[in-house]
Amino acid sequence: MTYDTSYLAADYLYYLKAVQKELRHERHALKVAHYLGIRIRIGWANRCTPDHPNGPLMVVTPWNYGNTDVVRHEEAHIILWWSGLEAEIIAEFGEELGWRVVENLCQFAVGFMRITQPMVDEAIRRYGVSAKAVRYLQKVSGADALTALNRLVYDDPRSCRAGFLLSGCYVAQTAECNWGLPFRWLDQVHNLRKRFPEDANVSWLKLTPSQTLGVCWG
């Protein structure tokens, strides 16, 4: 029986979260590498060799060495390889598309490694599933608005959440997890309140005079 790739992102997230739990939700990228036994070398390009005979090896450029998202991205590659899902992806999608799927997954994982589960749990405890919770995640992690929004919306693949970023009155970004937004990317939205049913669980706030962040759940 072949692997059902519709569960790919969810399966990878469960695996990644289990690894993070083992590491007590360590946030520092270099400490994560140390705990996982990943060696880091400085080189001319960012890459990793999960199956190196002496144990997993990561190479990063000098300016990306440190507590950076590039180190997190390479760690995500090694964790994906450990999960066995990388081999499933290549088998299902082939070399060319498969590696793009791998890249997207590992980039997606960076947000989960930068914004740890205790941060998300605390954000929800304080503000519920809301725009304020996303702003809180931005503050405590230093991540950008989209990373923080995706982290909250996709936290649990079984939950029903969505989020959006408006630039002026245009929809600049959307995130949907079992919850359908009433507009799409690049649509114009003039009156947010009128776009949602009265009883919808929706909140939004202005990040800047022209940028609006919104979150929905239920």
Please give the residue ranges that form the binding site for Zn ion (CB under 5 A): 103, 106
CB closer to Zn ion out of 4 and 103: 103
Q: Which one, of 12, 32, 30, lies nearest residue 22 by Cα?
A: 32
DSSP 5: G
CB closer to Zn ion out of 105 and 133: 105
Q: How far is the CB of 106 from Zn ion (least distance, A)?
A: 5
Q: How far is the CB of 110 from Zn ion (least distance, A)?
A: 10
Count the residues in the chain.
218
Q: How far apart are CA 109 and CA 73, in angstroms?
A: 7
Number of neighbours of residue 199 by Cβ within 10 angstroms: 7
Catalogue the E-assigned strands of the chain. 39-42, 47-49, 57-60, 161-167, 170-177, 201-208, 211-217
Q: How far is the CB of 52 from Zn ion (least distance, A)?
A: 16
CB closer to Zn ion out of 36 and 192: 36
Q: How far is the CB of 173 from Zn ion (least distance, A)?
A: 22
Residue type, 144: D
CB closer to Zn ion out of 106 and 153: 106
